[in-house]
Amino acid sequence: MGWFKKSLLAKVYFIPFLVGAILLALSAFSLWQTNNALKEYNTLIDEDFYHSQQIDHLNLLFKRQVQEWKNVLLRGHNSSDRQKYWQAFEKQQQNIQQIAKELQPHLTEKEMANELKSFIQTHQTLFSKYQQAYNTFTQGDNDYKAADKEVRGLDREPSALLEGLQNKLSDNSKSKSALLASSSLTLSNSLFITTLVVLIISLSVAFLWLKALLIKPLRALSNHLFALESGNLEFNSELKPREDELGLVSKSVIKLQASLKNTTDSLKAVLQSLKQSSRSLSHISQDISRGINEQHLRTDQVATAMNEMSATAHEVAQHAANAAEAATNADNSAQSTMGIMNNTIETINDMSKEVSNTSDVIQRLEEESKSIGTVLDVIRGIAEQTNLLALNAAIEAARAGDQGRGFAVVADEVRTLAQRTQQSTAEIQDIIANVQNGAHDAVAAIERGRNQTTEGVEKVTKAGESLQTITHAVEEIRDMNQQIATAAEEQTSVAEDISQNLHEITDIASTNSKNADKTAENSHNLEDLAKKLEELVVQLAK
């Protein structure tokens, strides 16, 4: 159980675990009791319902048997029908006896078993009397009145026995159900009360357990830490030794108290030394203060000279900025001029391309003109051949007279030549259209060349203007440089005044240097003391 003493978590979870185990056991017991009650109820339902159902079945069979007897009397005038109904009557007799005898051992109540036994005996006796009546009926010329008189009212006793047995089974089932319900209710109430009592007791024990385990030790630990926070290092702890996590915290707090007490004692000794060093530094600081006052006066003079120098330097800076701005403008103008020149070159190149295009267009126009001459030659040849064929046709027509069928071939040739003439005419028209388009392209190309030439002139003009701007900017830069030179001369004069004041400041600084040496020595002592304090603080932080 050593782990239990050393683990706060195990102690905290012990009571909830114990309560859970008890509640689990109660739940298991309740489940077991409920299962038993359900089994008893199921047994009651299965057995009593089955018994009741069998009694109802017996009653029904008995009524059917009586009905078969009536069929014998009313419908048994001929031997075949009478025999059929009587056999049905005997069959019902056997079924009733068999079911009743099988049911009798299952009736656990002695009184109901005896009643069923009485029914079996009565029913058996009744069958004998029905047999006698049947014999009377068959031997008495089918006198059903005489036969019925012998058995009249005999079926009432068996029916009464079955109905009484049925009522007793019903009453028995109701009483058992009521008893089971009462037992279940009593068990449920008992389990509820038991669970409630166990839960109250468990919560009370858990509260007392947690109070002793956590609340009291935490309260004591809180009081101890509050005392340390207030500076009471002589506080007597109420913490009790224990082996769990809370005990480890308590031990750490006690160690912290001892460490703080030792550190405080050491700090008191160190503070005494610091007080002595502070007094020595106080006297030295007074000397340094007087030297600083003198130095302050000289510094004012230096500050005045520096203000003048600053103003002059500001003016120099302003002129320098203006000069830079003018130089930037000049550079921008130069860049703009360069861009314009480049554009001018591109424009000239474009003009050259357009001139080349114009040359190509004119060349195509010349080639198309040649094509026109060729086509005209073809047309001319066709025309000559057509004239010859026409002449031949005329001659043949004169010679043949009515035999002019051969002129059909000539006519076909004439038509073919006519078609070729039409095609050549169409080609001439297309060529003429191409010539016209080429002429139009040449005009457009020449027009574009003229426009681009004008644009080149304008850009060159702008380049000249930009160069003129650059010239003015350069002149402004030259003037500003002259102003900068004048300002620099004034700054030189102010710098001489500053140099003189600095010599005087140097003398005062020598005196302050000696005092600073003494201050450095005392500062060294303070540094050693600070190191000791640092070591003590490190120990305190561990």
Residue 70, token pair as written in the block:
């009536």
- Strand stretches in 372-496, DSSP E: none
DSSP 54-100: HHHHHHHHHHHHHHHHHHHHHH-SSHHHHHHHHHHHHHHHHHHHHHH
Helix, strand or coil, per DSSP, at residue 155: coil
Going from N- to C-terminal start, the domains of the chain cover 11-221, 255-541
Residue 539 CA to its chain's centroid (Å) = 50
Whether 382 contacts 417, CB under 8 Å: yes
Inter-axis angle of helices 79-103 and 8-75, nearest 10:
160
- Amino acid symbol at 22: I
491-508 as b/e: b if 16+ CB within 10 A: beebeebeeebeeeeeeb
Provide the pLDDT for residue 416: 81
Question: For the chain, what percentages of helix, strand and coil (3-state, to nearest 5) are there?
Answer: 95, 0, 5
Q: Which residues contact 532 (CB under 8 A, 6 or more apart)?
A: 266, 270
**206 CB neighbour count, 10 Å cutoff:** 17
pLDDT tens, the chain, 542 aa long: 565 555 666 666 666 777 778 778 877 877 777 676 666 655 655 576 678 788 888 989 989 988 888 888 888 778 888 889 999 999 999 999 999 898 888 887 888 888 889 888 988 888 989 888 888 888 766 677 777 788 888 888 888 888 888 888 878 777 777 777 787 778 778 878 888 888 889 888 877 877 776 677 777 677 767 776 777 767 666 666 666 666 666 677 677 766 776 777 776 776 677 667 666 766 666 666 676 567 666 666 656 766 676 676 577 567 757 766 765 776 676 577 667 767 765 775 776 677 567 667 657 766 775 676 676 677 767 767 777 776 777 787 777 777 766 666 776 777 787 677 767 777 767 776 776 676 577 657 657 766 776 775 577 577 667 757 756 765 676 677 567 657 656 766 765 676 676 567 667 667 766 766 777 676 677 677 767 766 765 555 44
Rounded-to-integer distance, Cα 206 and Cα 204, Å: 5
Rounded-to-integer distance, Cα 175 and Cα 226, Å: 73
Provide the pLDDT for residue 21: 80
Whether 501 contacts 301, CB under 8 Å: yes
457, containing H or E segment: helix 407-541
Residue 124, token pair as written in the block:
């058996």
Whether 264 contacts 231, CB under 8 Å: no
DSSP 463-478: HHHHHHHHHHHHHHHH
Q: Which of 337, 369, 345 is nearest to 438 (CA)?
A: 369
Q: Which residue has the tokens 């009184």?
A: 111
Whether 467 contacts 332, CB under 8 Å: no
Residue 519, token pair as written in the block:
């201050």
Rounded-to-integer distance, Cα 370 and Cα 417, Å: 23
Residue 134 CA to its chain's centroid (Å) = 94
Residue 377, token pair as written in the block:
């030659």
Rounded-to-integer distance, Cα 172 and Cα 324, Å: 124
Residue 64, token pair as written in the block:
């059917």
DSSP 324-387: HHHHHHHHHHHHHHHHHHHHHHHHHHHHHHHHHHHHHHHHHHHHHHHHHHHHHHHHHHHHHHHH
Same fold, 11-221 and 255-541: no
Q: Which of 8, 28, 138, 12 is nearest to 78 (CA)?
A: 138
Provide the pLDDT for residue 541: 44
Provide the pLDDT for residue 91: 93
CATH topology of domain 11-221: Four Helix Bundle (Hemerythrin (Met), subunit A) (1.20.120)
- Please tell me the CATH superfamily of domain 255-541, with its number: Methyl-accepting chemotaxis protein (1.10.287.950)
* CA quadruple 180, 182, 184, 190: dihedral sign: negative
pTM score, whole prediction: 0.31
* CA quadruple 72, 74, 77, 81: dihedral sign: negative
Q: Which residues contact 443 (CB under 8 A, 6 or more apart)?
A: none
Question: For residue 236, what is the DSSP state?
Answer: P
126, containing H or E segment: helix 110-139
Residue 254, token pair as written in the block:
């006690």
- Amino acid symbol at 60: L
